[in-house]
Amino acid sequence: MINVIIKRQESQIKQFELSGHAASGPYGYDLVCAGVSAVSFGAVNAVMALSDADLEIEQGGEGGYLWVAIPAGVTDDTMEKVQLLFEGMLVSLKTIEQEYSESITIKER
């Protein structure tokens, strides 16, 4: 099971954590894991390419873990870009969850 935890502060996404594996197919052929990875890494890469945010990132050595936080001191303009990209990521992850709820769960705090 992939567990996604979204942490908000004043309605803004401040950090998120993904952990676990979907186990919905053989290694290398797991479409849920591939989709979640593409969506989450794509969002992080987009933030890094399109904004001035210097994200804090931790990854698990063998995959199955990603933690991302927005550091303090990000300007309002940059935060607006980051929030749009991360909210888009969340919409995509929720779409995957709707179809594959046995393989992914999302919690917001």
21 is catalytic: yes
Given 33, 74, 90, 96, the catalytic residue? 33
Integer Cα distance of 87 and 89 in angstroms: 5
Given 1, 12, 19, 21, the catalytic residue? 21
Q: Give the contacts of 90 (CB within 8 A, at least 6 positions apart).
A: 6, 13, 106
Residues with catalytic annotation? Answer: 21, 33
